[in-house]
Structure 1
Amino acid sequence: MELIRPGNKGCKWLVILMSCAFVTCLFVISQSPLRRDMTPQALQSNFARLSKVLLSSSGLPNATNKEFVLQNVWQRTKDDRYKMHDPQLQSSFILDTAKQEDNTTKENSNDSQMSLRHHNRPIVPNIAHYTWFGNHTFRFDHLVSILSAHKFMKPDRIMFHTDCEPEGDYWEEAKEKLGDALQIITRKVPKTVFNNTIAFIQHSSDVARLEILAEHGGIYMDLDVIVLRSLTPLRHYDFVMGRESKIGLNNGIIVSSKDSEFLRLYHKGYRRYENQCWNCNSVLYPGYLAEAHPNLIHVEETSLVQPSHRDTDLIFLGHFPWWEGHYTIHTWIRVFLNRSSAKVKFTRENILSWDTAFGELCRYIYHGNANFVRLHHPDELFWTHDVP
């Protein structure tokens, strides 16, 4: 049977039909009495069953799209809080993007045949960038993140872009320890992009980081990224991102020259801003661009943002080998805190006996020693439960 492609007339209705079938599968799963108590083995088995059903169909336009939908089946099955990761919307975004990129590629066919250039000297300035929008408290984990950049990047400047300076003792400590290296830059929260209203503060930060890099060049990092060694080898490329998934790149750390063509295309993608999709523009679009223009970007497969947001337990409850070949560790602390049944508050004191990879990382950066200290009642130090 001939494979149905996006340009065929019947494709639209087949995609709609398959989307309906997919939604039905999700509904059946959600109604199962065992749904919320499934073991990891049962979840994986359920995922395999759905995968077999979907892969046996020729209704999805191409292999990439099948993989994309299957990835999101597992994500939805595992945790139904991912309301903004809608497979149908993401699939539509990918297909529409593919059509637009096909036209762009035709117009720039010579460009797509060039190879990725590794420059003989660093062309990305050694500047660390952070964004901070809104009035909230600067936590201990934020302090560890920014101190790690100062310690291992040895940046010429740390530019802290904010509309409201942080609060708290740890912010005061950061200013004291960073000294003249820290520059606090007043910056308004982006409210629109290409005349599209931005729906979430996180999306505003996504846009701001691209605009900042276009103005200055340098290395943007989220405040849950911990730097473990010099990033100078990556500064020899015009643009660098880390792999988040098979079809997505993570924007929690971006290395870019201010004249990067990939950066320009990435920002231009916000002309079609999806305000109902959490990661279409920020993660999926650069992933697609990397496939269309491999000559414009260097992708670090495992050394920047692994483990993934699905595996935060490896960092916060386990012993992930963070010392093995990583430039940075993206801790995904917000994801972990949102998933936790209890409130967690890390401090310079209680982190001494947090016997996990995250404890080791914090002690390594803040105290200069990754070893932990045994205390008599560690649970009382870390966990404060809500009173019903």
Structure 2
Amino acid sequence: MNQRVKIICFLLLCVFLCWSAFNVTDFEGTRFEHVFADLRTSSKGQQPRTQTEVVNDEKLNSPNCIKPANADSYIICDQLPFQKPACRNNTNGLVPNIVHYIWIGNGTLKMYHYISMLSVVTNHKPDKVLFHIDGAGPQGDLWLKLIEQIPCLEIRKFEAPTHIYGKKLNDIYMRTDVARFQILHQQGGIYLDSDVIVLKSLDPLRKFPFTMGYNGVKGFSNGAFLAAPNSPFLEELLNGYKDLYKKESRALYFGCIRPRTLSLTRKDLPIHVEETSMHRPNGWVEKESIVISSYDLSDNYMLHIHPRNNKKYKGFFEWGADKIRVHDSSYGAAARASFFGTRDLVFLRGEESLARDRKPRKPIILVAHDTIRKSEENLPEFRDLTIVKNKHS
């Protein structure tokens, strides 16, 4: 009899413990809620926040973070709220949902390369990321980490072109330009330089047969563009290399100036142009302001950082998540969007006394280069692009 009573008591104790564990784990809406709310929002030696002192950020997906009620552009987190890389199948649109990178030679994958590729699978989520290599490809721990993190990453070996139409390509820049034009003409998709950080889904641009953006210097930038397979505009860009050496034999002309000229003179070639959302601001035009100033990136699809033009500040581009989380700049905001899915500054629990909002963001202004303006001013299609401001100006 005593043995039976012991068994019954043991079973009742198990039921009670299971019930308690359930209410501890799923405390929302229970009488224990205020206890666990205090534990969650307390920090070392500080008074716990009350329910009215914090608000949830609708764009914040992490349960480990809160945005204080008086905060405009910072959050407080128990731990860094890393996004999870993901891929998807999305066949809607003229442009295949495939992202292309090109890497010629070897070399170590740097932190800003890592952030670029991470941003694609956290903020856009492509069907595939094709990494075209001519040589050994990237080296280093960050490259191995990307291979592990990105489920749809495929490495494709190819031979970078050395000639086109029988003419020798002078430098690595022209070789990579021709390679990206040829690959996207054949396969279609989204091309990105490895110093472009994607801030949100590129799907709205995939409905156009071809898309480029102004670079703010001399026309368009081919550091990021989208193309449907067999794009007529892209085919004409490749045809232009038949005149190699007859005109400016520089990558800048064929990759940037000529696309802009074609968009004005060949209305039969379909192209969609983004004025500021793809390449402004960028580290070529705004230079150091990418890392010491903060621009309004709310309408941007991406940020093109050009680290080679910012050698004075190259150390910033090697920062990891723990440093970049509180760096108030355009680059910092873009990197946080890649790591955490938010442009807000990120402070950890216990750093409330250090928490601050970001400084006011600058509007993005497009200024056409004088030489381009002079070459276009006699064209009937020319629009005065001396100063074109976005809606935030």
> What's the TM-score, normalizing by structure 2?
0.60
Q: How does 1:46-125 map to 2 (within 5 A)?
A: 122-125=93-96
1:293-304 equivalence runs, <5 A = 293-295=266-268, 296-304=270-278
Q: Residue 212 of structure 1 corresponds to which residue in structure 2?
A: 183
Distance 1:172 1:147, change over 3 A: same
Q: Please point out which of 208, 220, 230 is paired with 1:259.
A: 230
Q: Does 1:177 align with 2:158?
A: no
Corresponding residue for residue 351 of structure 1:
324
Q: Kindly indicate whether the alpha-carbon contact (under 8 Å) linking 1:355 and 1:372 is maintained by their aligned counterparts in 2.
A: no
Match of 1:327 among 293, 301, 305: 301
Which residue number in structure 2 is paired with residue 156 of structure 1? 127
Out of 186, 200, 215, which is 1:229 matched to? 200
Would you say 1:139 and 2:113 are equivalent positions? no
* Cα deviations by residue, 1:32-63 (Å, 9 ceiling, x for unpaired): xxxxxxxxxxxxxxxxxxxxxxxxxxxxxxxx
CA distances 1:361-384 after superposition (whole Å, capped 9, x unpaired): 212312445415599xxxxxxxxx
Aligned length: 251
Deviation track 1:293-345 (CA, whole Å, cap 9, x = no partner) reads: 234111111111101422022211111222x21111111222112xx177555
Q: If you compute each CA radius of gyration, which structure gives the higher value, 1 or 2?
A: 2
Conservation of the 8 A alpha-carbon contact between 1:247 and 1:288:
no
1:310 matched to 2:281: no
> Hey, what does 1:201 align to over in structure 2?
172
2:252 to 266, 279, 284: 279
- What is the rounded CA distance, in whole Å, between the counterparts of 1:191 and 1:148 in structure 2? 31
Any idea what SS the aligned residue of 2:213 has? strand
Does residue 138 of structure 2 align to residue 166 of structure 1? yes
Alignment partners' CA distance in 2, 1:156 and 1:342: 32
TM-score norm. by structure 1 comes to 0.61
Q: 1:315 to 1:271 in 2, by over 3 A?
A: same
- Rounded to whole Å, the distance in 1 between the matches of 2:115 and 2:173 is 21
CA shift for structure 1 position 355: 3.0
CA offsets per residue over residues 182-210 of structure 1, 9 Å max, x none?
00000112111111111111211101001
Q: Which has the higher contact order (CA 8 A, sep 6+)?
A: 2
Corresponding residue number in structure 2 for 1:49: none
Asked if 1 retains the 8 angstrom alpha-carbon contact of 2:122 and 2:341, the reply is: no
SS of the equivalent of 2:223 reads strand
> Structure 1 residues 341, 321: closer, same or farther in 2, change over 3 A?
closer
Provide Cα deviations, 1:137-174, integer angstroms capped at 9, x if missing partner. 10111111111111222111100000122101111111
Shift of 1:285: 0.8
Does structure 1 retain, via aligned residues, the 8 Å contact 2:199–2:302? Answer: yes
SS in 2 for 1:354: coil
Deviates more, 1:132-141 or 1:270-279: 270-279
RMSD between superposed Cα atoms in Å: 2.1
Query: Percent same amino acid among aligned pairs?
Result: 32
Contact kept, 8 Å, 1:354 with 1:372, in 2: the verdict is: no
After TM superposition, list the pairs within 5 Å mapping 1:353-368 onto structure 2: 353-368=326-341
Is the CA contact 1:152–1:228 (under 8 Å) kept in the aligned structure 2? yes
SS of 2:296's equivalent? coil
CA contact (8 A) 2:288 2:313 kept: no
Alpha-carbon deviation of 1:240? 0.5
Q: Distance in 2 between matches of 1:366 and 1:341?
A: 21
Give the equivalent residue in structure 1 for 2:25.
none
Name the CA distance, whole Å, in 2 between partners of 1:261 and 1:345. Answer: 37
Could you give the per-residue CA deviations for residues 60-94 of structure 1, whole angstroms, max 9, x where no partner exists? xxxxxxxxxxxxxxxxxxxxxxxxxxxxxxxxxxx
